[in-house]
Amino acid sequence: MSIELHQAAHEAMSNEGAEQASAYFAPDIVYTDEARGLTMKDKAETTGWLTEWKTAFSDARVADATYLEAGDWTIARFTARGTNDGPFGELPPTGKELATPFCELLRWSDGKCVEGAIYYDTTTMMVQLGHMPPP
């Protein structure tokens, strides 16, 4: 059952945006962006984090996703795709396409995501976006 919630949150982010995706978050969600060392401690912070992604990649979408359920946790392995048409933090837009593998874990309670973490390779992203040469 939680797999459908995870999929729906991804569809909302891909097709509508951060505010719509945040409808699946509990008010006190704790969500960690492991690659950047950021932990958001409530729904507003997590929605803001998603908004930054949608600002940097207005066509951001989850592609080729595989979902697994493990008790009250779901795991999604997917490719994050989008065109960098807005600033990404302090980095200027490059107009380049992003296609980077991600892994996301979400814990669910009463139909809402209460905890999550996302893992991805920042070097791959920076190379794809043209901010650094390949290692």
Could you list the residue range(s) of the whole structural domain that residue 50 is in?
2-128
Integer Cα distance of 54 and 64 in angstroms:
19
Integer Cα distance of 33 and 117 in angstroms:
6
- Average per-residue pLDDT in the chain? 97
Structural domain includes residue 20: yes
pLDDT at 41: 98
Structural domain includes residue 113: yes
Structural domain includes residue 135: no
pLDDT at 1: 66
Structural domains of the chain, count: 1
pLDDT in tens, 2-57: 999 999 999 999 999 999 999 999 999 999 999 999 999 999 999 999 999 999 99
Structural domain includes residue 100: yes
To the question of pTM greater than 0.75 for the whole model, the response is yes
CATH number reported for the structural domain that contains residue 89 in this entry? 3.10.450.50
pLDDT band at 124 (very low <50, low <70, confident <90, very high): very high
Structural domain includes residue 68: yes
Structural domain includes residue 66: yes
Terminal alpha carbon distance of the chain: 42
Structural domain includes residue 133: no
